[in-house]
């Protein structure tokens, strides 16, 4: 290979590199603008709406607005095991007068957990128990899963409150 051919190869490689360098500079100028590293355009983004906090309504307020008639319909799930007539025992004790009645006071064979619980069935205790009996009284023989909706529990307790 003679000197002229080597010069042509070096000039071709150098020219190619020069063209790539110029293309890169041109692309930066086109996409970034003014040679700095900031974008040539901005995208306006609306501010995110503030996340609304879940409003926690006290159970006493939900109970104050409860409907005993709707609670009687919710009680249909309880009626398979519980009666509402005084002294009528089925698979579970009678729920007549349950609100503010001492826990385990009915003539019924309670599990040790409920028999030893003590106190009265207050509205708050009934709410906690009806949410998930096995959590409120671990070891209870009541296999009921619980009433998931707070409004349904309030309606049910309002209905049970009428049974006096």
Position 53 in a domain = no
Structural domain count of the chain: 2
Specify whether 40 is located in the same domain as 9: yes
Do 84 and 127 lie in one domain? The reply is yes
Identify the pLDDT of residue 16: 94
Q: Please indicate, yes or no, if residue 119 is contained in any of the structural domains.
A: yes
Same domain for 38 and 70: no
**Domain presence at residue 50:** no
Query: What 3-state DSSP class applies to 102?
Result: strand
Q: Is residue 121 part of a domain?
A: yes
Closest residue by Cα to residue 83 from 93, 74, 70, 73: 93
Backbone angles phi, psi at 116, to 5 degrees: -100, 5
**Phi, psi of 146, rounded to the nearest 5 degrees:** 120, 170
**pLDDT tens, position by position, for the chain (164 residues)?**
789 999 999 999 999 999 999 999 888 877 776 545 555 567 788 888 787 888 888 999 999 999 999 999 999 999 999 999 988 888 999 999 999 999 988 888 888 888 888 899 999 999 999 999 999 999 888 889 999 999 999 999 999 999 98
User: Whole domain around residue 35: which residue ranges?
Assistant: 1-45
Phi then psi dihedrals of residue 158, to 5 deg: -65, -40
pLDDT of 159: 95
Are 66 and 40 within one domain?
no
Q: Which among 130, 155, 149, 150 has a CA at the least distance from the CA of 140?
A: 130
Domain CATH code at residue 149: 1.10.760.10
- Among candidate residues 86, 152, 161, the one with its CA nearest the CA of residue 121: 161
In a domain, 4, yes or no: yes
């Amino acid at each position: 290979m003679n000197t002229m051919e080597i010069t042509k190869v070096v000039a071709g490689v150098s020219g190619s590199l020069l063209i790539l360098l110029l293309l890169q500079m041109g692309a930066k100028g086109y996409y970034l603008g003014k040679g700095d590293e900031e974008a040539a355009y901005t995208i306006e983004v609306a501010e995110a709406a503030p996340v609304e906090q879940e409003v926690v309504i006290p159970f006493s307020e939900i109970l104050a607005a409860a409907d005993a008639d709707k609670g009687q319909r919710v009680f249909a799930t309880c009626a398979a095991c519980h009666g509402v007539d005084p002294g009528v025992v089925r698979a579970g004790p009678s729920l007549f007068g349950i609100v503010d009645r001492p826990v385990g006071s009915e003539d019924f064979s309670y599990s040790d957990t409920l028999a030893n619980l003590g106190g009265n069935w207050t509205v708050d205790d009934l709410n906690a128990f009806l949410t998930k009996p096995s959590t409120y009284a671990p070891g209870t023989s009541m296999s009921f899963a619980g009433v998931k909706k707070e409004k349904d529990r309030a309606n049910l307790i309002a209905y049970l409150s009428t049974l006096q």
